[in-house]
A = this chain, B = another copy of it.
Amino acid sequence: MKVVDRVLAGDRLALARLLTKIENNEPEGFSALNALYAHTGNAHLVGVTGAPGTGKSTLVNQLALHLRKSESDIWESAPTVGVVAVDPSSPFTGGAILGDRIRMRDLAGDTGVFIRSMASRGALGGLARATTGVVQALDAAGFDLILIETVGAGQAEVDIARTAHTTIVLSAPGLGDDVQAIKAGILEIADILVVNKADLPSADNTIRALRATLEMARPAQRRPHNWVQDQDMEGEVKETRSWEPPVLATIATKGEGIVELVQAIIEHRNHLQESHEWMDRERSRVRSELDDLLRDRLAERFFTDHPDGRYERAVEQVLARTLSPRQAIQRVIEGKSL
């Protein structure tokens, strides 16, 4: 049986091997993804991001555990859950592998959960591209919900989380997050805000600060939505209602608040589908993936078509400062002497 058929038939070992090929940029991985792509589009992609120290891994594990026990009209039985932990770990620590083992303990023996940690390799953007492929493979393999956990609150991590249907932004008391969250520019991408470690003394302050910031951040023209919300007993008004990101409190280590978080995820999914935003997000994800691929392929083709070393000569000219980087690339593209 081919790898694609085995993945579609639920063969977990074949899936794990395929993910490794995708992560390593192997041609076999790409051709399998081509064949699998027609089977994607069913999974609910949920991004979880936030600063280090907020307890993301623990929360994601708890979410997976609770989702496996949850009931909803959306899924016939408890949803199967894929977890993709985007973990730019050091090449020398093997952190990703160790992380997988620690994580597997809680969820061991449940074939409805599949966990994958991504190690960062190479340049900016490489991680994002590999993650896209891994998520697509899990989607095709039939996982109902895929949790994409991104470490840090950096630009690349925010971009990865942004491509999800539902983005959860995690804070914790005492990290100065009220300010940090704004700085990191992640508040406006949050569909659900979670203050974890809610048993810490300053948790109430963090929750209040987040709510106040959300209130300020909401553009004036959007304010009347609260009023529309009050009236939403009349079917059609409800459909045009915009989403107000809730601020939830959790204590992930004790499993507290997770049921409410699962409920918020389900409500956001319903909102996306009623408001046609689901399709908008699909479209923007596809555009961003096609943009990346187009640029990759154009650059590859350029080097294949022009094996005359002009790029290397451009590097030398820029180092000697006889040309600026932009002038050098202009000459490289136009085939002028260098």
What mask results when residues 9 to 53 of chain A are scored 1 for a CB within 8 Å of chain B, else 0? 000000000000000000000100111111011000000000111
Cβ 8 A contact of A298, one of B88, B125, B302: B302
Task: Determine whether A299 belongs to the interface, using a CB cutoff of 8 Å to chain B.
Answer: yes
A217 to B94, CA, bound (A): 11
Q: Are B319 and A286 in contact (CB under 8 A)?
A: yes
Cβ 8 A contact of A52, one of B93, B184, B302, B311: B184
Task: Determine whether A245 belongs to the interface, using a CB cutoff of 8 Å to chain B.
Answer: no
Cβ 8 A contact of A124, one of B35, B155, B219, B328: B155
Given known A-B contacts A53-B180, A151-B183, A182-B95, A188 and B329 have beta carbons under 8 A apart? no
Give the distance to chain B from A334, nearest Cβ to Cβ, in Å.
10
Q: Which of chain B's residues have a CB closer than 8 A to the CB of A38?
A: 321-322, 324
Task: Determine whether A156 belongs to the interface, using a CB cutoff of 8 Å to chain B.
Answer: yes
Given known A-B contacts A128-B124, A289-B325, A311-B294, A155 and B158 have beta carbons under 8 A apart? no
A189 to B123, CA, bound (A): 13
Task: Determine whether A191 belongs to the interface, using a CB cutoff of 8 Å to chain B.
Answer: no
Give the distance to chain B from A121, nearest Cβ to Cβ, in Å.
10
Q: Are B289 and A294 in contact (CB under 8 A)?
A: no
A319 to B125, CA, bound (A): 22
Q: Are B298 and A286 in contact (CB under 8 A)?
A: no
Task: Determine whether A242 belongs to the interface, using a CB cutoff of 8 Å to chain B.
Answer: no
What mask results when residues 190 to 230 of chain A are scored 1 for a CB within 8 Å of chain B, else 0? 00000000000000000000000000010100000000000
Task: Determine whether A113 belongs to the interface, using a CB cutoff of 8 Å to chain B.
Answer: no
Of A124, A128, A298, chain B has the most CB atoms within 10 Å of the CB of A124
Give the distance to chain B from A321, nearest Cβ to Cβ, in Å.
5
Give the distance to chain B from A218, nearest Cβ to Cβ, in Å.
9
A324 to B53, CA, bound (A): 38
Cβ 8 A contact of A93, one of B128, B155, B182, B287: B182
9 additional contacts (CB under 8 A) given A51-B52, A92-B219: A37-B325, A37-B327, A89-B182, A152-B157, A154-B156, A155-B157, A287-B315, A289-B318, A301-B333
User: Footprint of B on A, CB under 8 Å?
Assistant: 30, 33-38, 40-41, 51-53, 87-93, 95, 120, 123-125, 127-128, 151-159, 175-177, 180, 182-185, 187-188, 217, 219, 282-283, 286-291, 293-299, 301-302, 311, 314-315, 318-319, 321-330, 332-333
Which 3 residue pairs are nearest across A and B when measured between Cβ atoms?
A154-B154, A37-B324, A155-B156
